[in-house]
Structure 1
Amino acid sequence: MLQPDALLWDIPTLLLLFALGLIASTFGAIVGLGGGVIIVPALLLLGPSMLGMTIDTAMAVGVSLGVLVFTSLTSTLTFMKERKTDLRCALFFSLSSAPMSMVGASLTSLFHPEAFRRAFGVFMLFMVVLLLLRHRMKPFSGTWRYVRTFTDPSGSEHQYGYSLLPALLIGGAVGLISGLLGIGGGVLLIPAMVLLFRFPPHIATATSMSVILVSALFGSGMHLYRGEWDWQLVLPLAPGALLGGYLGAIVSRRIGSKMLIRIMCAALAFFALRMILT
């Protein structure tokens, strides 16, 4: 198998990786998923034809998390300026997501590539079903310890809430998935925020990117420590990720909540089926 550090880059390849980072991160910031749902499948499925090399699962996940650091950084800063990020809630999730992302990163290499892709795809389809059925599912009617209020541009007021223990449990699961799959954990965190804690979709998107930033930092650090990382893959993707994180956050505020969920579901379903059937 050709290793990434043996690759001799040329201008078309660099431009292709820049475009991949830009597209993945723009989409990821729009819906709060981080872009790993595009980067990981692209590296695994298109590596031989796109880059002339085979990239193993652990390397794809490590590179994806490294790129997510750049995506989530610019999008988080942009969302914070717009006062859409619930930093207190993000902190609660991150207390457990950070260490668990390191645990997930240490387990990635144990998965067979084909089993990994299919498990990844099935999990994504499950999240799509949850999001599509969210209006038919009975929302949690209990009272959370911390109650927050958000007023959207139309003047409508939305209340949502959370408690420390559920936030820590979900944060831990998000971190584990982030480090294991390299997707940031937004595919689990956003449905949990919307369905369980009743977050407005735009607040869920912004807060998710803050949690992804912390998880990606710790998860990519573990992959770097384990040697499942290559700067020749990360660096060409990073500029597009920085720009995409900013653009995605800007585009997100122009999209209605219902349209945001539809885009998210359509994209997740497409990549899920691609991972399962390929």
Structure 2
Amino acid sequence: MEFTFIQDIGFIVMGYFIAAFGTLVGAGGGIFFVPIFLYVFGWEPTLVIGTSLTVVMFNAMSGSYAYIKQKKVLYRAALAFSVATLPGAVLGAVWSNYFTGVTFRFSFGMLLLFISLVIGFKNWNKGKAAPEIEVNKETFRFNMAGGIAVSFVVGFISSIFGIGGGIIHVPAMVYLLGFPTHIATATSHFVLAVSSLVGVLSHFLQHHILYEPAFFAGIGAVFGAQLGAKLSKKVKARFILMLLSFALLLLAVRLIITSGFITF
């Protein structure tokens, strides 16, 4: 598949802005790359998944570097959760071969709808989705077993949909494990960098990646992720989750309606 010079520039610009927002909310940007690759370029699901996840990998690595410099990553959790994502990432890459265009759009839409509603409901009604507190990383306690279980699922979903997994991991770490939002975002980004690398290698072996768009969008993502990490220090935690919830809802409705899985 060949691409023009203008398209390559477009991939860089797209990667920059999507990665900036993806890093800000800890989602990796895949929730936007996937619909764009599906609707704008019309690629088949396996190519969409593999290419999107490759860009997400660039984004996650760059964002993780920025968060590491800010000393927001909780390494006890990050290392354990990263290992837990690995088998799920490999399994997801293999199972992605069974998607058709219809089933992928519908499944991805339903996933985004569920996540959007959960985040929006809890954030709006309880008003305490992301407590602004300082934590001592040496003494901070959390449910390690629960975090490992969630991380395995995140690794699978990340690799089978090409989205990164932060859109599930961050809310789970905040609501289920009690992490402050900015610590959860940074730690999840570290985990995402590891799991996406394994997922990309698995998709590479199955020829699921379009290298040119992945490379140029990845270049943009590297720099965009730095911007997103800087903005995260200035944006209120609750606002981040509300913004993420609204964006996911719009994408979910679009995917479900246009999938053709449900006829009216």
Say yes or no: TM over 0.5.
yes
Matches of 1:90 and 1:216 in 2, distance apart? Answer: 14
Cα offsets for 1:100-142 (capped at 9, x unmatched)? 10110111110111111111111111111111222557x9xxx
Matches of 1:19 and 1:275 in 2, distance apart? Answer: 24
Counterpart of 2:176, as a letter, is L
Given the alignment, which residue of 208, 229, 234 partners 1:228? 208
Using the TM superposition, give the Cα deviation of residue 271 of structure 1 relative to its aligned residue in structure 2, in angstroms. 1.5
Identity %: 30
Counterpart of 2:17, as a letter, is I
Cα offsets for 1:159-218 (capped at 9, x unmatched)? 963233212111100000011000111121111111101111111111111111011000
**Is residue 104 of structure 1 aligned with residue 92 of structure 2?**
yes
- The equivalent of 2:24 in structure 1 is 30
- The equivalent of 2:134 in structure 1 is 151
1:161–1:275 distance in 2 versus 1, CA, 3 Å: farther
Matches of 1:274 and 1:88 in 2, distance apart? Answer: 39
- Range with bigger deviation, 219-228 or 255-264: 255-264
Given the alignment, which residue of 71, 75, 85 partners 1:87? 75
Cα contact 1:160–1:198 (8 A) shared by 2: no
Structure 2: give runs of 5+ residues left out of the alignment: 259-264
- The equivalent of 2:14 in structure 1 is 20
Aligned length: 250
**Is residue 176 of structure 1 aligned with residue 150 of structure 2?**
no
- The equivalent of 1:43 in structure 2 is 37
Matches of 2:66 and 2:232 in 1, distance apart? Answer: 11
Structure 1: give runs of 5+ residues left out of the alignment: 1-5, 48-53, 140-148, 153-158
**Is residue 60 of structure 1 aligned with residue 43 of structure 2?**
no
- Range with bigger deviation, 236-245 or 128-137: 128-137
Using the TM superposition, give the Cα deviation of residue 248 of structure 1 relative to its aligned residue in structure 2, in angstroms. 0.7
Cα contact 1:128–1:268 (8 A) shared by 2: yes
- The equivalent of 1:199 in structure 2 is 179
Q: Name whichever structure is richer in strand by fraction.
A: 1
Counterpart of 2:31, as a letter, is V
Cα offsets for 1:212-257 (capped at 9, x unmatched)? 1011000010000011112112111111110111111111111001
Give the CA RMSD over aligned residues: 1.8
Cα contact 1:160–1:199 (8 A) shared by 2: no
- The equivalent of 1:77 in structure 2 is 65
Matches of 1:29 and 1:128 in 2, distance apart? Answer: 17
Counterpart of 1:39, as a letter, is F
**TM-score, L = length of structure 1:** 0.85
Cα contact 2:46–2:97 (8 A) shared by 1: yes
Counterpart of 2:219, as a letter, is P
SS at match of 1:134: helix
Alignment of 1:113-192 (within 5 A): 113-134=101-122, 136=125, 151=134, 161-192=141-172
